[in-house]
Amino acid sequence: MHWWQTGIIYQIYPRSFQDSNADGVGDLNGIIRRLDYLKSLNIDAVWISPIFPSPMHDFGYDVADYCDIHPLFGTLADFDRLLAEAHARGLKIILDLVPNHTSWDHPWFVESRSSRDNPKRDYYLWRDPAPGDGPPETRLPNNWQTHFGGDAWTYDAHTGQFYMHQFHRSQPELNYRHPEVLPAMLDNMRFWLDRGVDGFRVDVIWLMLKDEQFRDEPPNPHAAPDARPFDRIEHIYTASVEGIHDIIRQMRGVLDEYDERMMVGEIYLPVEQLVTYYGDGDECHMPFNFQLIQLPWDARVIGDYIRRYEGALPPDGWPNWVLGNHDQHRIATRVGQAQARVAQMLLLTLRGTPTSYYGDEIGMEDVPIPFEQCMDPAALQQPELFELWGRDPERTPMQWDDSPNAGFTVPEATPWLPLAADYRTRNVAAQENDPASMLNLYRALAALRRAEPALNRGDYEEVDLGQPDLLAYRRTWPGSDGFLVILNFGSVEHRLDLRAVLNESGGEVALSTNPERIHGDDIDAFHVAPKEGVVWRSNGR
């Protein structure tokens, strides 16, 4: 087994984790300061969202130099220190690679846009205006749309052509049909791997290749009448385009030049397509599985999905699960505090690598941000979808303690996004000493997972307890204790006869999400409280 299989990944949004230089934005020295905290969570790897030089139009997902550190976050020397200090504590570091697009400030794009005959012109996707009347800037090359709302083409008057982008206009997309582009990106990967980085989370990996003929995308027959233009077309020429798997195989080849490195691909696709990104064990080590974010919080729906996912995985495809990230509303806001505890139990007891989002371990919630204070380019571009789509609410500063600015930054500084109103009560310091806190539940679950082969590598078997609001499953590993996990997604108590399920084996409750659990371990009258999750240890099986 590899570290990225048995371990837990923890995502840090660096702007919001810990500020060390009083500018209101988190940085690398801040992360170093918090490494002992990270270690105390019993996690194994830290994925840091982009820290490279960038004009920050998309908060670092617009990279202007792949081989340096943004001064806002520190220096390469700070990064090397972070890596050394993390490794000294047994923590891996995963960087965010953004190969689909660069910033418009990247020297490649600066050259590319300088003239039509610049040698780097075709590093990007340039197209003439469509034939016809009207000003050239209105004659779009085709109907492609951006994920952030608006046309995927921006007109550049200087050279009289459009360039393509599926996100913000400051994120021009690279042309992976140009023979020099992929080798250059592979060298960027080697730069960090040579420094000792343990792997990459790869941004929108399934979008990296576009239709060679730039054909219009067809209408989406399933689109709602009021769907936004992006959702009214089917993305068959901008996503999962034929040839993408060859590119990913070459990226994987670079990782395989080194020992024990990994890549996890950001891919939003239905499960049957998602699993093709494992390749034959020669593409992504893991394509992110985002279904716990996308599905309704319903025991049956999630149980069905786990079965479907397990069934779709290729023979050596290692599963993974994600509860939240910097693009999605926080789990505690989506399902409430009690169910958020159940959700952590689910995440940390399923088969496959869990990825946790910073702050979820203390139950941080979305912070409402008024439109006037909105930072997120995706929301600014689609004001009508701001409430639904804005990504600032899940990106607010980490709540460390009850001091002014929550210990995220000094009291005199202004955090780049506002703090949660409840930070004085919901923070790490307050939860440290409370045995019933979400933080200590998280630590206990992560410790149990680490200690128990059944949980960190064992088999998964669903168990039907005959109640639609209960999700139950068994985790087993030969020669080790087995576990029965029972999660109550509902609001009524259940009294269960577990004798048949447990086959009379001995055991006891190892963990409950309910700190006041008063019920004992009677397997013929086993109580599961409303919104309670329980991990039962079966001795020796």
Q: Which residues are catalytic?
A: 203, 257
Are 46 and 89 in contact by the 8 Å Cβ rule? The answer is: no
User: CA–CA distance from 45 to each of 11, 369, 510, 513 (Å)?
Assistant: 9, 30, 25, 24
Residue closer to ligand NOJ, measured from CB, 204 or 454: 204
Interactions with ligand NOJ, residue window 8-37 (CB under 6 A): none
Residue 12 DSSP code: E
Which of residues 25, 91, 204, 485 is near ligand NOJ by CB under 6 A? 204
Here the contacts of 426-432 (C-beta below 8 Å, separation 24 or greater) are 426/362, 426/363, 426/364, 426/365, 426/399, 427/362, 427/399, 427/400, 427/401, 427/402, 428/37, 428/362, 428/398, 428/399, 428/400, 428/401, 429/400, 429/401, 429/402, 430/401, 430/402, 431/362
Q: In terms of DSSP bridges, do strands 353-357 and 9-12 run parallel, antiparallel, or are they unpaired?
A: parallel
Rounded-to-integer distance, Cα 84 and Cα 196, Å? 9
Distance, CA of 178 to chain centre: 29
Are 362 and 456 in contact by the 8 Å Cβ rule? The answer is: no
Q: How many Cβ atoms sit within 10 Å of the Cβ of residue 147?
A: 19
181-195 vs 244-256: helix axis angle to the nearest 10? 30
Rule CB under 6 A: is residue 61 a binding residue for ligand NOJ?
A: yes
Interactions with ligand NOJ, residue window 390-409 (CB under 6 A): none
Question: Which secondary structure element, helix H or strand E, spans residue 186, and what is its range?
Answer: helix 181-195
Report, in Å, the least distance between residue 415 CB and ligand NOJ.
19
Report, in Å, the least distance between residue 58 CB and ligand NOJ.
5
Are 198 and 93 in contact by the 8 Å Cβ rule? The answer is: yes
Are 20 and 81 in contact by the 8 Å Cβ rule? The answer is: no
Residue closer to ligand NOJ, measured from CB, 167 or 192: 167
Which of residues 31, 38, 46, 98 is near ligand NOJ by CB under 6 A? 98
Report, in Å, the least distance between residue 266 CB and ligand NOJ.
6
Residue closer to ligand NOJ, measured from CB, 358 or 536: 358
Looking up tokens 């009291």, which residue turns up?
A: 411
Tokens found for residue 382:
């689609």
Report, in Å, the least distance between residue 246 CB and ligand NOJ.
22
Distance, CA of 438 to chain centre: 21
Which of residues 167, 288, 321, 358 is near ligand NOJ by CB under 6 A? 167
Residue closer to ligand NOJ, measured from CB, 58 or 392: 58
User: CA–CA distance from 211 to each of 208, 237, 482, 520 (Å)?
Assistant: 10, 5, 49, 61
Residue closer to ligand NOJ, measured from CB, 46 or 306: 46
Report, in Å, the least distance between residue 253 CB and ligand NOJ.
24
Residue closer to ligand NOJ, measured from CB, 144 or 442: 144
Residue 112 DSSP code: H
Q: Show Cβ contacts of residue 211 under 8 Å, excluding neighbours closer than 6 positions.
A: 237, 238, 241
Report, in Å, the least distance between residue 288 CB and ligand NOJ.
10
Rule CB under 6 A: is residue 338 a binding residue for ligand NOJ?
A: no
Report, in Å, the least distance between residue 359 CB and ligand NOJ.
16
Beta strands in 174-219 (DSSP E): 199-202
Rule CB under 6 A: is residue 192 a binding residue for ligand NOJ?
A: no
Report, in Å, the least distance between residue 109 CB and ligand NOJ.
15
Interactions with ligand NOJ, residue window 258-287 (CB under 6 A): 266
Question: Which secondary structure element, helix H or strand E, spans residue 331, and what is its range?
Answer: helix 331-335
Of 182, 199, 175, give the one whose Cα is nearest residue 45: 199
**What's the chain's length in residues?**
541
Which of residues 327, 432, 459, 461 is near ligand NOJ by CB under 6 A? 327
Residues binding ligand NOJ: what is the number (CB under 6 A)?
9
Residue closer to ligand NOJ, measured from CB, 58 or 452: 58
Residue closer to ligand NOJ, measured from CB, 44 or 203: 203
Of 541, 507, 540, give the one whose Cα is nearest residue 526: 507
Residue closer to ligand NOJ, measured from CB, 56 or 455: 56
Report, in Å, the least distance between residue 326 CB and ligand NOJ.
6
Whose CB is nearest to ligand NOJ?
A: 61
Rounded-to-integer distance, Cα 344 and Cα 438, Å? 9
Rule CB under 6 A: is residue 176 a binding residue for ligand NOJ?
A: no
Residue closer to ligand NOJ, measured from CB, 266 or 361: 266
Which of residues 44, 78, 203, 310 is near ligand NOJ by CB under 6 A? 203
Rule CB under 6 A: is residue 58 a binding residue for ligand NOJ?
A: yes
Report, in Å, the least distance between residue 144 CB and ligand NOJ.
15
Of 13, 8, 9, 10, give the one whose Cα is nearest residue 408: 13
Binding positions for ligand NOJ, rule: CB under 6 A: 58, 61, 98, 167, 203-204, 266, 326-327
